[in-house]
Amino acid sequence: MTRRLILWLTGAATAFWLIAAGLGVSVMHDEFGEIFDGSLQETAERLVPLVVVDLDQRKDFAYPEHLREEIDDAGEEYLVYQVRNAKGEILFRSHDAPETPFDAPLKRGFWTDDTYRFFTATTASNLIFVQVADAMANRSEALTEGGMALFLPVLVLIPVSVLLIWLIVRRTLAPVDDLRRAIEEKDGGNMAPVPSGLLPRELRPIARSVNHLLTRLQSAFDAEREFTANSAHELRTPIAGALAQAQMLIAELDGPRKRRAQQIETSLVNLGHTVEKLLQLARAEAGIGAGAGNVDLARVLELVVTDFERSDPGSRRLRFHREAGASLNGSYSEDAFAIVLRNLIENAVLHGDKAEPVDIRLEKGGVVRIINGAALLSPDELAAIRKRFGRGSTASPGSGLGLSIAERLLQQMNAGFEVLSPATGRADGFEVVLRFGRGDAAG
């Protein structure tokens, strides 16, 4: 919009200037003609009495040679004249006048040919004619110089106009840019009203409409989160009770009935896992990723890895490596980071190749990598598993929420999040890369 305004305003200003200059040249043409014609007529009429007096004092009409020499030393004349008798013979002439008689007729008034504009003045007896001529080139030169004086400023006007219009438009549209940026910042974690007090009157209705929409969205999000959290909380107790009853039933049954009870137990465990993920999702949607103080996330990473190792001491699949000098400090939420790690490590353990280890690496620059063995995934499959409840082609249990929860929390922590297949430096495998180096984290 700014570019279009600058182009249109500059084009309009330039067009108006050119039109004004063209009209000025037209007016100058007429006015210069009147001025030059007036000078011609006045010069000719003033010369008539002087010529008559001079001729009366002479016995012949020959042009004095000594006067010719003196006049020949004069500079260039803009007006030239010839004094002619009734036969058309030249009695006197100015030093720049042609030696042959002018083509103008011996008749009082103006006359024009391709070279000169003439005015002929005569005595009362019509015996002496004074013809004064103005070269048309002089008039053209004056008109050209006057026109250039009007048109040349356009060359300076255009860049100056672009600069001034750009400054004016930028300053005028600054509130529009502020409103645009304020709206761009809005997402599920930022529903604060758009400030409208300093906006121009024309933009305030837009800001009010956006704020009404944000209020409604915030209410809808709050209701959704509250429902999710309350539902998950309310389900945990009956699920735990049902799971306990199923386990007691398994201990009392034998044969096919016991297998059915075990299936019920598995379903209840999966349901409890899903409820736990829904609770985490509700917390992620509530925006717990932002932290208030500087924390050491490397310590949290080590604690989460240790907790996984203790929960399954026999597998020994987790391999943690911390690069020398690597650290992970910043203004983050330890709880949110722990939820991210638990989801990502859990996904790697459940869905990775059971025969291969899960590598967890902390590198310099605030980079965390979680790598597990897996078949190669296509770009479409990578995109699918990042969606909510996206599970891909796997038979392992899960809810399909782990990556969504991790990605949501990492967005709140201003951390980068990548999923790669194949893993870096491998022909297969699956890798998740977390990058905290853009913010306060340092390595």
Q: Find the CATH number of the domain harbouring 417.
A: 3.30.565.10
Are residues 278 and 313 part of one domain? no
User: Residue 92 falls within a domain, yes or no?
Assistant: yes
Q: Which of 14-23, 41-50, 131-140, 214-223 has the lowest mean pLDDT?
A: 214-223
Judgement on whether residues 314 and 281 belong to the same structural domain of the protein: no
CB 145 within 8 A of CB 28: no
User: For the chain, what is the mean pLDDT?
Assistant: 79
Q: Helix count (H) and strand count (E) of the chain?
A: 11, 12
* Whether residue 291 sits in one domain with residue 406: yes
238: containing domain: 186-286
Residue 263 sits in the same domain as residue 291: no
Residue 78 forms part of a structural domain: yes
Answer for the pair 285, 188: CB distance below 8 angstroms, yes or no.
yes
Question: Has residue 309 been placed in a domain?
Answer: yes
Predicted confidence band at 294 (pLDDT cuts at 50, 70, 90)? confident
- For the beta carbon of residue 282, count every other beta carbon within 10 angstroms: 21
pLDDT of 397-443, one tens digit each?
Answer: 666 677 888 888 888 888 888 888 888 888 889 999 999 864 444 43
Residues 311, 300: Cα–Cα separation, whole Å: 17
- On whether both 404 and 297 belong to a single domain, the answer is yes
Residue 165 lies in a domain: no
Q: What CATH number should be reported for the domain holding residue 127?
A: 3.30.450
Q: What angle do CA 357, 358, 363 make, to 5 degrees?
A: 125
Residue 322 has pLDDT above 80, yes or no: yes
pLDDT category of residue 321 using cuts at 50, 70 and 90 = very high
Q: Is residue 179 part of a domain?
A: no
CATH number, domain containing residue 234: 1.10.287
Q: Where does residue 393 rank: exposed (0-12), middle (13-18), buried (19+ CB within 10 A)?
A: exposed
Q: Where are the alpha helices (DSSP H) in 126-203?
A: 136-151, 153-172, 174-184
pLDDT of residue 370: 92
Output the pTM of the full model.
0.47
User: Residue 72: pLDDT above 70?
Assistant: no
Which among 237, 266, 286 is the end of a domain?
286
Residue 81 within any structural domain of the chain: yes
Q: How many CB atoms lie within 10 A of CB 73?
A: 7
Single out the residue in 241, 266, 286 at which a domain terminates. Answer: 286
Per-residue confidence (pLDDT) for residue 314, from 0 to 100: 62
Region 328-340 average pLDDT: 84
Last residue of a domain, one of 130, 154, 178: 154
H helices of 195-351, in order, are 204-252, 255-285, 297-311, 334-351
Work out the angle at residue 356's Cα, subtended by the Cα atoms of residues 350 and 358, and round it to the nearest 5 degrees. 60
- Tell me which of 10-19, 65-74, 139-148, 430-439 is least confident: 65-74
Q: Report whether 439 contacts 330 (CB < 8 A).
A: yes
In a shared domain, residues 268 and 311: no
- Structurally, how many domains does the chain consist of? 3
CA distances from 41 to 80, 81, 95, 261 (A): 13, 12, 20, 127
Q: How many CB atoms lie within 10 A of CB 158?
A: 15
Q: What is the mean pLDDT of residues 372-391?
A: 78
pLDDT score, position 166? 80
pLDDT in tens, 121-137: 888 788 888 888 888 88
In a domain, 442, yes or no: no
300 lies in the same domain as 273:
no
